[in-house]
A and B are shown apart, each in its own frame.
Chain A
Amino acid sequence: ETGVTQTPRHLVMGMTNKKSLKCEQHLGHNAMYWYKQSAKKPLELMFVYNFKEQTENNSVPSRFSPECPNSSHLFLHLHTLQPEDSALYLCASSPRGEDTGELFFGEGSRLTVL
């Protein structure tokens, strides 16, 4: 138990669906992250939020839309995805904003796009 909770753990969606992934942290951290891990590939950073402000968008397609309503919650809204977007989506948080390499990851949401 890392203190970072992701829901749902598994999600199957069609290419025309709209769904959202949710991440919640109870650690009092200031920064939150979305990473993507495709099969047999390294983790790829997608978005970073620091004190609720987006500070990094790693050239992510607009069909992925992040939302950070407060420092404890992070969402990833998904729409018109492609089969190649099937992956493990990992949320993480860190104390002291981004001035640390110590991240706490959730268990991930495994997404399958049909």
Chain B
Amino acid sequence: DAKTTQPTSMDCAEGRAANLPCNHSTISGNEYVYWYRQIHSQGPQYIIHGLKNNETNEMASLIITEDRKSSTLILPHATLRDTAVYYCIVRLNTGRRALTFGSGTRLQVQP
């Protein structure tokens, strides 16, 4: 599975959009981009995933560049409860490939 690079930490003001970037320049054509988050001392929570097209659900939007070498997770109106570590993971959705988590981005939402 392709390697991902994320900033170590980011701040965001409450009520503003949080834009979390992820680079995955070695991604292959059939690898998906997954996003998870982990609130302190809890289990990770699935947020969203996509292959080529932009995706949106009730939690967030995922924007994938046309060349698929990077993506951005957007939390449209960040709240204090969105403070967490956010993980970007690239994964081939076939075969026995359990998710491999990196260090993620620690997002701090400021009041």
Contact = CB atoms under 8 A, between A and B. Distances in A.
Contacts of B104: 42
A101 B41 contact: no
B68 interface: no
Interface of A: 2, 4, 33, 35, 42-43, 45, 48, 50, 55-56, 88, 90, 92, 98-108, 110
A98 B93 CA distance: 8
The 3 closest A-B pairs by CB, nearest first: A105-B43, A43-B101, A101-B91
Interface of B: 32, 34, 41-46, 49, 89, 91, 93-104
8 contacts: A2-B43, A43-B44, A43-B101, A99-B95, A101-B32, A102-B49, A105-B45, A107-B42
Contacts of A45: 98-100
Nearest to B91: A101
A101 B100 contact: no
Contacts, number: 57
A32 to B, nearest CB: 11
B62 to A, nearest CB: 13
A103 B99 contact: yes
Given A43-B101, A102-B49, A103-B46, 14 more contacts: A35-B101, A42-B102, A42-B104, A56-B98, A88-B41, A98-B96, A98-B97, A101-B49, A103-B44, A105-B44, A105-B45, A106-B43, A108-B43, A110-B41
B41 A108 contact: yes
Indicate the member of B46, B94, B104 with the most A CB atoms within 10 Å: B46
A35 B99 CA distance: 10
A48 B94 CA distance: 15
